[in-house]
Structure 1
């Protein structure tokens, strides 16, 4: 299986934890790994979904306050039923923005029902429809980068159809080249009725797609997924060590063939020969290296999401302020792009009604990142507390420092660390409960 990490499907699977992450198809086999061993790894694979946690928490902050809108009754009516099926504008836009965060860009079609009333009062309102990057199959632009036409693929039952929008009309065809027209229509809004919703500004302002915020997170989470699977296999290999028995001759070796030894039976041996049974186990170094790699990958996930201030490393006030500013700037850019897309959506809604939008739309662009830090920590702990005993201890120590360090003597913190190392479950669970409270 060839894994295309740039595809919409891979990125959506990385967010949902489904697809190849659920089936194990996104595991990379070792060069000489047996099929049976790979099959077992697929069955035991667990996907620690940091990426979804980060996206969801950041989306929660982006939409903690609803946008400020100054408009007339027309836009208020549209906002109450923005998709023509009862969906509210804020609900739809937050969903679209989450997809844009994952994919980089989504496309919002502002269309109008073909069947209209006899009077202006009876005329149906425009509605929004969503298209993904994978559905954009063709486009033409003028010198300024403005769309002159755009074509999306869509399914009609099991058949693929192609819907093209131009500055003067639309058509639905069986073929991508538009040679077999099913139906078509005209409009006089003066532009292609499709809005690009970017999560970040494209490198080239005229590009139709922006880089995904989620892409690096998905790649790191994929790396973590594979590392955890490989470490799990090492754990399995070390759990049942090999018992070595001294034998006097080939007859004794033959007699002991297919011998099963476990905690439920016993083995007798003659010590006269000077030998005794001994267990042979692989060295622990590979597992320790995997644990370090997993911890470093988690740190990288924080870093690429501009969340360096989340974690157990104590930072100076200057460093903390800088990282807060970086994260606030990233969130502000996301809000600004969604605001720009909604202004364009509003303009199209009014254009379909032969009017001009003169209202104002403003999204919050400043965020309380102390609250974000707490929310991210809690969300991440819910993932990491299931990554194995050593990783659990590290997380519990981090939580103890975050909750108690400011009011607790260093000697007490040292004692707490030793308690966690010795038998930290009871205390660690109490720390985790305090963090969530």
Structure 2
């Protein structure tokens, strides 16, 4: 077995990243029940230093435990609001190859916006992901023979080591990739690939940590002249240049909620049905005494779902105190509210309680501010990926000149206000009625943003077609000038036309 290097921070954060992955999709300890924290008496060997033998009570709790997917709801709510309006991409060069490439950035027909949506889902969960741009195959002898550039996403669990330069910027990564199985029965394998600013290093293949091909390392120049790896962040983390902060924050919040839900379920199951007290001995009114055997015979050995208690007390149903369940439910509600406020996610219960319009507006503003931060991160990442595409397509020497010539613009939304259609339409009409509405540039920018607000989810081709048609519409001033010219032309033709006498 050959040791593989891992970054010290990877060892520190790996457990938390795995918990976040489980929190996001309800897997791992939520499926097995291992995230349940047992009470001491739920182990048969509870006196041992490390108890290992569960009681039937603990096994029953694991079977009944459920996960409510609150984290998934938070992530999907943010994604839906963030991608309600897509970015605007434009080039000065009509039909530029980059605009064709963004229609399929993975080789599977996935456009750039859809790719970034999937990548940002992982970024929200883990705090950051790495987007790697490389070629689908080895380069050919000429530019025409080069394989197309492709994007791949790696979550933090798959990046086991990394390097930074003196400024703290990323300068190299060690990627762990799963090897596709070619046939049934084949063991799952993975490879490690080292990528630096200058060149990538070929893969070492592993099975369960064993290096199969330690001599298969090959170094090649990737041709970018820069590190073809772009980190995409949800939130930046102070003190860590590479590691981001999850939009879900501490995974233990959701594990705690999972345990509280399980304990409430146990209370409800154990205390829902009352206990029937059956008196034994002589009653207070006198009469013959009742033995245990006689009481069981009269009861029929069964009381349905009701537990039976035999005592000398009068016959009665004994009900459990509901205060325990009420206390648990209050704690659960407080925890859910805390999670929603921590993640700046709208909390449904707040809208039902007495709350001023100003308070609701401020909470909505907080949510929109967070979305604006996400959009800034996506715009920065996409611009960096675009520059890497130019590097990989035109080479380290020519890319800057081609970049300047293309005049590429990538603009993500800066506002996430959700106004009614009538409000949006009124604002748009008022804006066009201003002197600004005479500007073709203003109309173009205004129309591009309005299309995203009114018709979200359009393809790149549809957006480009609408933009081209809007550009072809003359402004009001151009229409006035055209009408004046047409009138002048008609008057000129009428003046120059021969009269009837001249014709005769």
Which TM-score bucket, shorter chain as reference?
A: 0.7 to 0.9
**Cα RMSD over matched residues?**
3.1
Q: 1:338 to 1:313 in 2, by over 3 A?
A: same
The unaligned stretches of length 5 or more in structure 1 are 372-437
Mapped contact 1:102–1:214 kept (Cα < 8 A): yes
Counterpart in 1 of 2:478?
none
Counterpart in 1 of 2:427?
none
**Corresponding residue SS for 1:65:** coil
| Equivalent of 2:244 in 191, 205, 210 | 210
Mapped contact 1:189–1:352 kept (Cα < 8 A): yes
Counterpart in 2 of 1:361?
410
Mapped contact 1:109–1:195 kept (Cα < 8 A): yes
Range with bigger deviation, 304-313 or 355-364: 304-313
CA–CA separation in structure 2 for the residues paired with 1:309 and 1:229:
23
Matched, 1:317 2:361: no
| Equivalent of 1:12 in 21, 28, 47 | 21
Q: Structure 1 length as normaliser, TM-score?
A: 0.75
**Corresponding residue SS for 1:197:** strand
Larger Rg, first or second structure (1 or 2): 2
CA–CA separation in structure 2 for the residues paired with 1:75 and 1:41:
55
| Equivalent of 1:253 in 292, 300, 310 | 292
Mapped contact 2:276–2:315 kept (Cα < 8 A): yes
Range with bigger deviation, 181-190 or 97-106: 181-190
Deviations 1:199-244 (A, max 9, x none): 123324x71111111124x433322221111011111111233222
Counterpart in 1 of 2:202?
172
The unaligned stretches of length 5 or more in structure 2 are 1-12, 44-54, 182-187, 283-288, 421-504
Counterpart in 2 of 1:161?
191
| Equivalent of 1:281 in 316, 319, 324 | 319
Paired residues in the alignment total 361
CA–CA separation in structure 2 for the residues paired with 1:326 and 1:175:
47
In the TM superposition, what is the alpha-carbon distance from 1:118 to its structure 2 partner? 5.4
CA–CA separation in structure 2 for the residues paired with 1:147 and 1:5:
19
CA–CA separation in structure 1 for the residues paired with 2:41 and 2:35:
17
Counterpart in 1 of 2:259?
226
The correspondence of residues 27-426 of structure 1 with structure 2, limited to 5 A, is 27-34=36-43, 35-71=55-91, 73-117=96-140, 119-156=142-179, 157=181, 158-174=188-204, 180-204=215-239, 207-216=241-250, 218-248=251-281, 252-253=291-292, 260-263=301-304, 276-307=314-345, 310=348, 311=350, 312-354=352-394, 355-356=399-400, 357-358=403-404, 359-369=408-418
In the TM superposition, what is the alpha-carbon distance from 1:110 to its structure 2 partner? 0.6
Deviations 1:388-436 (A, max 9, x none): xxxxxxxxxxxxxxxxxxxxxxxxxxxxxxxxxxxxxxxxxxxxxxxxx
CA–CA separation in structure 1 for the residues paired with 2:57 and 2:313:
34
Mapped contact 2:17–2:156 kept (Cα < 8 A): yes
**Corresponding residue SS for 2:363:** helix
Runs of 4+ in structure 1 deviating by more than 4 angstroms, as ranges, are 175-179, 254-259
In the TM superposition, what is the alpha-carbon distance from 1:59 to its structure 2 partner? 0.5
In the TM superposition, what is the alpha-carbon distance from 1:115 to its structure 2 partner? 3.4
Q: 1:126 to 1:186 in 2, by over 3 A?
A: same
